[in-house]
Amino acid sequence: MKTVLITGASRGIGAATAKLFAANGYTVAINYYRSVESAERLVQEITAAGGDAFAVCADVANEQAVSEMMQSVLQRCGRLDVLIHNAGIANQALLTDTTPQEWHRMLGVHLDGAYYCCRAAIPAMLKNGGGKILTVSSMWGVTGASCEVAYSSAKAGLIGFSKALAKELGPSNITVNCVAPGVIDTDMCSSLDADTMKGLAEETPLQRLGTSTDVANALLFLASEQASFITGQVLGVNGGFLI
């Protein structure tokens, strides 16, 4: 049975991805940091449906925590086939109102997290003879967003990270791709009022907001053998909002 490790998997896109991969026969390692109750509920939901899942706690911005998480996954499963770096945080603020602590935390979760997780996962994938690495960026990492300079910078960096790593790991049969969601109806949008959400839906050519499952479906495809000749790409899951 193949194993997938999904960071930031206790809710939103990560949780939908965990459920979809479990339904497709993967053993799912559900990474969380603070949301222990949500992670445990998700494990229970997946196992009740006949899937195999377990929770692993780690702050992905902490190198030692990531190393220990990877050891736990490999001890339980013996292998790692897919890594999905989905962990992320948001912060809407003018750059001049963004504190150094907020800036470094943003880069820590998104970019340091990608570095630590991939660095820990690659040896296991090399041992398997290949693997799939997927990162979750954002359309704001492609085009930038006002009052989200820190977030946009981190997500743009994740795109560059993925493209470069794809070239590095291609000869080892490890593909690296990135998904860049548009406006997805998750907790990250909880600060937006109903009128704003309605306006964003109307601005989207498909006339609706995206769902976590929309993104999960894209990730499942990129992790599949059908995508074996796709690497170094950024797939926009944004309903045509950004073309």
CB 234 within 8 A of CB 159: yes
Structure tokens at 242: 């950004």
pLDDT at 188 over 70: no
- Out of 26, 32, 116, 151, the active site residue is 151
pLDDT band at 20 (very low <50, low <70, confident <90, very high): very high
Q: Is the pTM of this model over 0.75?
A: yes
- Mean of the per-residue pLDDT values of the chain: 96
**3-237, CATH topology level:** Rossmann fold (3.40.50)
Mean pLDDT of the region 45-56:
98
Q: Of 53-57, 122-126, 193-197, where does mean pLDDT reach its minimum?
A: 193-197
pLDDT of residue 191: 67
Mean pLDDT of the region 78-94:
97
pLDDT in tens, 110-147: 999 999 999 999 999 999 999 999 999 999 999 999 99
Q: How far is the C-alpha of 44 from the C-alpha of 46, rounded, in Å?
A: 5
Q: How far is the C-alpha of 194 from the C-alpha of 201, rounded, in Å?
A: 11
As a three-state string, the secondary structure of the chain is: CCEEEECCCCCHHHHHHHHHHHHCCCEEEEEECCCHHHHHHHHHHHHHCCCEEEEEECCCCCHHHHHHHHHHHHHHHCCCCEEEECCCCCCCECHHHCCHHHHHHHHHHHHHHHHHHHHHHHHHHHHHCCEEEEEECCHHHHHCCCCEHHHHHHHHHHHHHHHHHHHHHHHHCEEEEEEEECCECCHHHCCCCHHHHHHHHHHCCCCCCECHHHHHHHHHHHHCHHHCCCCCCEEEECCCCCC
pLDDT in tens, 209-221: 999 999 999 999 9
| 151 flagged as catalytic | yes
* Domain limits, the chain: 3-237
